[in-house]
Amino acid sequence: MSQPSRTKTITLDRFLVERQRDFPNATGQFTRFMAQIGTVAKIIAGQMRHAALNNLTGATGEVNVQGESQKQLDLLGNQAFVEAFEYVDMVGIMVSEEMDKAESFDSDQSSLGYALMVDPVDGSSNIDVNGIIGSIFSVYDIDNAKRYSQEDALRRKGRDQVAAGYVMYGPSTMLVYTARDGVHSFVLNNEIGEFILHRTGIQMPERGYIFSANLGYYGKWEDSIRAYSDRFMAADTSYSLRYSGALLADFHQILHQGGVYFYPATSEYPQGKLRLLYECAPLALIAEQAGGIATDGAQPILDIQATEIHDRTPVIIGSQYEVNHYLKMVGKQT
Residue whose CB is less far from ligand P6P, 248 or 293: 248
Q: Which stretch binds ligand P6P (CB under 6 A): 15-23, 74-82, 122-130, 287-295?
A: 122-130
Q: How far is the CB of 135 from ligand P6P (least distance, A)?
A: 11
Say how far apart CA 174 and CA 275 lie, in whole Å: 22
Residue whose CB is less far from ligand P6P, 177 or 278: 278
Contact predicate 164/117, CB 8 Å: no
Say how far apart CA 256 and CA 11 lie, in whole Å: 22
- Contacts to ligand P6P from residues 238-277, by CB under 6 A: 245-247, 273-274
Binding characters for ligand P6P, 169-208, by CB under 6 A (x = yes): ----------------------------------------
Q: How far is the CB of 302 from ligand P6P (least distance, A)?
A: 19
Q: How far is the CB of 93 from ligand P6P (least distance, A)?
A: 22
DSSP H helical segments within 206-333, as ranges?
223-232, 247-257, 281-289, 320-329
Q: Does 131 bind ligand P6P (CB under 6 A)?
A: no
Residue whose CB is less far from ligand P6P, 72 or 144: 72
Q: How far is the CB of 217 from ligand P6P (least distance, A)?
A: 7
DSSP H helical segments within 174-280, as ranges?
223-232, 247-257
Q: How many residues bind ligand P6P (CB under 6 A)?
A: 9
Q: Is 220 exposed, middle or buried (0-12, 13-18, 19+ CB in 10 A)?
A: middle
Q: Which stretch binds ligand P6P (CB under 6 A): 98-106, 117-125, 151-159, 224-232?
A: 117-125
- How far, CA to CA in Å, does 155 sit from each of 91, 270, 316? 16, 21, 22
The backbone torsions φ and ψ at residue 240, rounded to the nearest 5 degrees and listed phi first, read -110, 140
Residue whose CB is less far from ligand P6P, 168 or 246: 246
Q: Is 6 exposed, middle or buried (0-12, 13-18, 19+ CB in 10 A)?
A: exposed
Contact predicate 256/286, CB 8 Å: no
Residue whose CB is less far from ligand P6P, 123 or 259: 123
Q: How far is the CB of 62 from ligand P6P (least distance, A)?
A: 16
Q: Which of 123, 165, 282, 300 binds ligand P6P (CB under 6 A)?
A: 123
Strand, coil or helix: 193: coil
Residue whose CB is less far from ligand P6P, 92 or 264: 264
Q: Is 223 exposed, middle or buried (0-12, 13-18, 19+ CB in 10 A)?
A: exposed
Residue whose CB is less far from ligand P6P, 57 or 125: 125
Say how far apart CA 61 and CA 264 lie, in whole Å: 29
Q: Interface residues with ligand P6P (CB under 6 A)?
A: 122-123, 125, 214, 245-247, 273-274
